[in-house]
Structure 1
């Protein structure tokens, strides 16, 4: 905010023009670098411009020539890695592996190789999902011990929280019953309360609840 408040409009526009070409060219840098290496530097900027233009590039010819000059001078910036977002990584981990596409499974493998913490979190998360899906509550205590031993800190905290109410969680992962029906009734009562809040008393609330029971 301070930058936009204290900087002249002309300077802001100039800086925006300076930054924009790099962003436009970024998805095509890997291709340009590969073509430059393949041709051993003996390739024209015009030819490369036409090649990436056919691939969807919408920038100017000058941007391509500038990047090509940087490659020849050895001053080109390294290509930014295509790092998936935490939300995307989480979705890959939590979904059953057989539902992932081949490319998603490959990307997740790359993330696991790059980060040991994510590897351990992925293994534990999938093991816990298996407990829930197949009601293997008898394995819960062992899962908690493993998580508390070498899992990332957020997962260690989750495991400690489960240990505090171990019997109830084990029952939930073992027995076929749940509190879903009760929670549904509680939600219905809360909806009725909100609808008449500030306009009626307990007598009407009681009547409406019993009338729909």
Structure 2
């Protein structure tokens, strides 16, 4: 409200239970969409700092909240970062790949919904046992898009033998690029490419092809282009007059 701190004072009713067997003696009225149990701020005020903490982290998020007049500290922002609940069923096209927590030391596995373009789950390692347990607990995947690691191959065939496997585009292009570089490096070291080129140059004495004349690009007839063309003509006309 105009960059001012606002405190909402809400009066709710408290209900008492007369039954001695009831474990909860009192019940407090809840207002849906505004408050939740054991909260000292509204639902909206809790969701905004959580979004800021997801993007910036602890310290930078606290500094931005202070600029926005949100009374929240670094520790509370970090407590708001809770892992989202995992889905009960796997997406139809499940993407699987490894990533490094610490490169060369610790690796994990990330699962992605390929069609929706969003993350599904993160596994703590890249072993076949850990990944094989996930499709067994979350059925529904029809296609698994993965890299060519043998660990994931074994893990897919055991719990879901009917699932189609596909190599993702990135790893296909990466493997193709590595194979081409390796082949070119081997032939360059043996001078195969240079000898073959010299032989073609000596045998086939073909004339050089004529240069290709491309048509000049036509600029659009805009106001700036016309003004620049008129100035160019005026400059050359004045040069001819001295």
1 or 2, which has the higher strand percentage? Answer: 2
Larger Rg: 2
TM-score, normalised with respect to structure 2: 0.23
